[in-house]
Structure 1
Amino acid sequence: MTSGQPSIDAPAPISRPTLSDGSLFIGGARQDALSGRRREVIDPSTGKQIGTVADGDAQDIDVAVRAARTAFDDGPWRRTPPRERARVLMRAAELLRQRTDELIALESVDAGKPVSLCRIIDVANTISHFEYYGGLAQGLGGATRQTAFPSMAYTVPEPIGVIGAITPFNFPMILSTSKIAPALAAGNTMVHKPAEDTPLTALVIAEVLSEAGLPDGVLNVVTGGVEAGDAVVRHPGVDKIAFTGSTLVGRKIASTAGDSLKPVTLELGGKSAQIIFEDADLDIAIGKAIEAFVFNTGQFCMGGTRLLVARPLFDAVSKAVAGAAGGVPLGDPFDPATVIGPIAGARHLEKIERYVELARSEPGAEILTGGHRIDLDGGYYYAPTVVVGMANDSRLVQEEVFGPVLTIQPFDTEDEAVALANSTRYGLAAGLHTRDLNRAHRVASRLQAGIVWVNTWGLMDPAVPFGGVKQSGYGREYGPEGLAEYLDTKSVVIAM
């Protein structure tokens, strides 16, 4: 996931932040949870508490939804001309840019992200979302349609209403603003429930939008756990759900929302394959294979965690990937040289360990590198791990680990490579490496995935949509398609 380029001048060092107000943001103002409860915020690089935030529950969600409902039904936002809405989003982008170092520090201490990557990926993409959807908002409009009878017919794009957004821990800013920016550009109001592990930047984004001119109640943020998320889905005042997270939770949300025919956008799990054909540029392919599974410490739903290699190259590629992966700089996220930071939380680290233990017990499996925790400052670190010899139906090959763990499998033919790539229940992303342009188009058309990368991995831009097929969900984020997810189309027909 890339966006922009680092500055030619070396940026100033980022210091660990001092946390202040961690209260909810409802109706344009900060307030405590009605229960008075607080939730610990843990720095994953040390395992220590760095502060607290309000622990919202169903009562707080109800207050937030009522604020959003009032703002939608009676407030000015939905009636604000698209160009004016665009100005607010563009202003928010500029204010976020001015607070870049603060956002980097909060995202890093909250999610364990290396500050160098936060700058060029997380913050850059967050700003780009508001700029991109601010641009799209300026062009919002309907179309006239020809009919077979004497009439004038036209369409009108309209906001859906109150959007309930529930976002995960791995890209707190990016996956929040990929929903917030298009939903607001379309004229909706929102209740956002960020991940319980990583709530900090969501509150800052809400404050920035308010400063940029967003009316009170249009964006409300409730930090909390499972109860708060469930209340968002079930609340009758919410008109649509936008969720990014696990397939298991996504199924439950779709089922619950289906009872009231509430539309849902789901961006769920992945187990993405990248294929190295015999004619690939191996320097590029091996570098991207490593990047694809260690990026964001493997906590990337579109991570390339299954590597399929043409059999004549299998031994050499496996050895090269394992050898290089162990040398990727791992350590303190606030060290500018760090590429791999800690896992975002203790329970996520334990899940990775359970999957690797399954590999140890499987006949024929071999761990070429990694396979263990790294003891560093009490943090949640796990070594990049490369496993070969796994059966295709093994759990490590078929299930999402969400950590820096790569399986490598050989193939003999193009058909076999495609079959292996498509053999899981997921369909979020895929990739291939080849010098043959015809093969690139042919294989890309056969891969069951919402986005396919050729001779690269993880390149993303707000203009290019992505989303899942199969058990990876439905609906699209990014691009005009992402804006369309937050609009209804009304048709008007006038007899002549």
Structure 2
Amino acid sequence: MTPQGVNIKYPEKLFIGGQWVAPMSGSSIEVVNPNTEEVIARVGEAGPDDMDRAVAAAREAFDNGPWPTTPPAERGALLMKMIDHLEARIPELSAAWTAQVGGLASFAPVMHGGGVAGLRGIAALGQTFKWVEQKKGMVVDTAILAREPVGVVVGIAPWNAPFGIMANKVFYSLIAGCTIVMKPSPETPLEAYIIAEAAEAAGLPPGTVNLVTGEREASDYLVHNVGVDKVSFTGSTGAGKRIAEVCGSRIARCSLELGGKSAAIVRDDFPIEAAAGILGNTITVMSGQVCAMLSRAIVSKHRHDELAEAIAGVMKGIKIGNSEDPETQLGPLAMKRQLERVEMYIEEGKKSGADLVTGGQRPAHMNKGYFMEPTLFANVDNTSRIAQEEIFGPVLCLIPAEDEEDAIRIANESNYGLNGSVFTTDVQAAYDVSRKVRTGVMGQNGMRMEFGMPFGGFKQSGIGREGGEEGLWPYVETKTILLDGAPARL
């Protein structure tokens, strides 16, 4: 059972060792549409035995298969075939996203088209990356630096952007020469099935790409498997801490792209109406369910009330509705528990003494689905829960500051450091402020994204980077070879 417009050959099975196999658990996972609260898909559910089978297949493919020793340029050529397959299925990827998490149908083709296009840059690293370098040593005549695959990778992706995040993990793993076990979120498994079908269609060796779908307990079991060399995880900081603990116990590699509570610093030179338009519309992107979301806005005290009123005006004009409607600007939250989480934080915000300027309720005209109005709290204390914890919903905190230096202090007063922005007409000022904020990405005048560049966080927002050449480094080990002379070939 799959949603309309999504054609998956064997949704009730798992992809292990190049074969579509029934889960040994005999169980299935139901996927619910957040617009309608109806079940729209069922997929096979992997248990511990299935996780072991998948790791064993990936281990065999890495230890004895041809993929790790295939020249990187040849690996890249095969990955281009995978990308061609995925490109033809952008409409299916878009339909799957909208059906599973309520992402806007109007935005889905752009999101997934861009995601597929970005994979070509990863595949091209097969030809452009310095896989082997020869250097002159200080003691020996010749030093060779060889970048070799880290081994068997487990890729764990979240539910908010399931295709792009999982595909990046798969393609970086594969271009490096690793084999991979995909473990998508149980709420959004369909994209991983399409990726597995692309690997099959491109003729990748059996066991190079594997797919298991499971709940939290089975995922924890998978991460514990000693056959896994590296875990690449995107998701909550809480889950990331658990994965880091497990990997650390046996010195397995891990890269973690975790949560955020990113701040937008609105300088005094930036127009109020322009700032309100950006902030009020940004918080509705993917219903606020973006790790890099600008969920804190910091402004000088003397401009605070004017900006709060302007943002509220923007938010009140947002059209809330079914994500299939091309006129909708704000669709549902992805699931019931996420709606309940956002409602909990709104109550916490009220208790904290912050001013609830607008929103904070389920829309009166929506009697079904997991919808929440865009919500603005003003006069927020930066030490409060709503300012310090990731809400993952359409809730914006407006925080007053004494001056620019105080705004920078407030931005840095966070356990997170994933994204941020400086609203200013002065490019030099944007650069200078950006250098003072402890975060992995900073943009001028909005939630800026550049997917060909490194993305990742400081502090509890993660370890490692995804995107660009830097995104490949977590999937390779550097071997130093010291020789008395130069070899005839590398």
Measured against the shorter chain, the TM-score band is: over 0.9
Aligned to 1:3: none
Matched AA of 1:267: E
Give TM-score scaled by structure 1 length: 0.94
Q: Is the 8 A contact 1:276 1:309 kept in 2?
A: yes
Q: Is the 8 A contact 1:278 1:312 kept in 2?
A: no
Instruction: Give the C-alpha shift of residue 193 in structure 1.
Output: 0.7
Could you tell which deviates more after superposition, 342-351 or 307-316? 307-316
Instruction: Find 1:279's aligned residue among 269, 279, 291.
Output: 269
Matched AA of 2:34: P
- What is the rounded CA distance, in whole Å, between the counterparts of 1:213 and 1:336 in structure 2? 38
Aligned to 1:111: 101
Note the 1:336-351 alignment, pairs <5 A: 336-351=326-341
Instruction: Find 2:372's aligned residue among 372, 382, 395.
Output: 382
1:378-397 Cα shifts (integer Å, max 9, x gaps) = 21111110111222211011
SS in 1 for 2:233: strand
Aligned to 2:69: 79
Which residues of structure 2 form unaligned runs of 5+?
486-490
Seq. identity, %? 37
Q: Is the 8 A contact 2:272 2:310 kept in 1?
A: no
Aligned to 1:369: 358
SS in 2 for 1:54: strand
Matched AA of 1:201: E
- What is the rounded CA distance, in whole Å, between the counterparts of 2:78 and 2:415 in structure 1? 41
Matched AA of 1:415: E
Question: Does the alignment pair 1:252 with 2:245?
Answer: no
Matched AA of 1:259: S
SS in 2 for 1:115: coil
In the superposition, relative to structure 1, how do residues 82 and 16 fare at CA in structure 2: closer, same or farther (>3 Å)?
closer
Question: Does the alignment pair 1:101 with 2:88?
Answer: no
Question: Does the alignment pair 1:264 with 2:251?
Answer: no
Instruction: Find 1:393's aligned residue among 380, 383, 389.
Output: 383
Matched AA of 1:303: M
Aligned to 1:208: 198
Note the 1:310-459 alignment, pairs <5 A: 310-363=300-353, 365-374=354-363, 376=366, 378-459=368-449
Aligned to 1:51: 41
- What is the rounded CA distance, in whole Å, between the counterparts of 1:118 and 1:131 in structure 2? 19
In the superposition, relative to structure 1, how do residues 56 and 377 fare at CA in structure 2: closer, same or farther (>3 Å)?
farther
Instruction: Find 1:24's aligned residue among 5, 14, 26.
Output: 14
CA RMSD, Structure 1 to Structure 2 (Å): 1.6
Instruction: Give the C-alpha shift of residue 409 in structure 1.
Output: 1.2
- What is the rounded CA distance, in whole Å, between the counterparts of 1:125 and 1:231 in structure 2? 34
Aligned to 1:481: 470
- What is the rounded CA distance, in whole Å, between the counterparts of 1:216 and 1:337 in structure 2? 45
- What is the rounded CA distance, in whole Å, between the counterparts of 1:331 and 1:18 in structure 2? 26
Note the 1:128-147 alignment, pairs <5 A: 128-140=117-129, 141-147=131-137
Instruction: Find 2:279's aligned residue among 274, 289, 296.
Output: 289
Question: Does the alignment pair 1:127 with 2:116?
Answer: yes
1:125-181 Cα shifts (integer Å, max 9, x gaps) = 321232011111222322111112342211111001100111111110111112111
- What is the rounded CA distance, in whole Å, between the counterparts of 1:57 and 1:82 in structure 2? 34
Matched AA of 1:254: A
SS in 1 for 2:460: helix
Instruction: Give the C-alpha shift of residue 429 in structure 1.
Output: 0.7
SS in 1 for 2:187: coil
Q: Is the 8 A contact 1:45 1:377 kept in 2?
A: no
In the superposition, relative to structure 1, how do residues 150 and 17 fare at CA in structure 2: closer, same or farther (>3 Å)?
closer
Matched AA of 1:464: M
- What is the rounded CA distance, in whole Å, between the counterparts of 1:354 and 1:445 in structure 2? 35
- What is the rounded CA distance, in whole Å, between the counterparts of 1:179 and 1:153 in structure 2? 31
In the superposition, relative to structure 1, how do residues 89 and 285 fare at CA in structure 2: closer, same or farther (>3 Å)?
farther
1:205-244 Cα shifts (integer Å, max 9, x gaps) = 1111221222221111111101221122100000001111
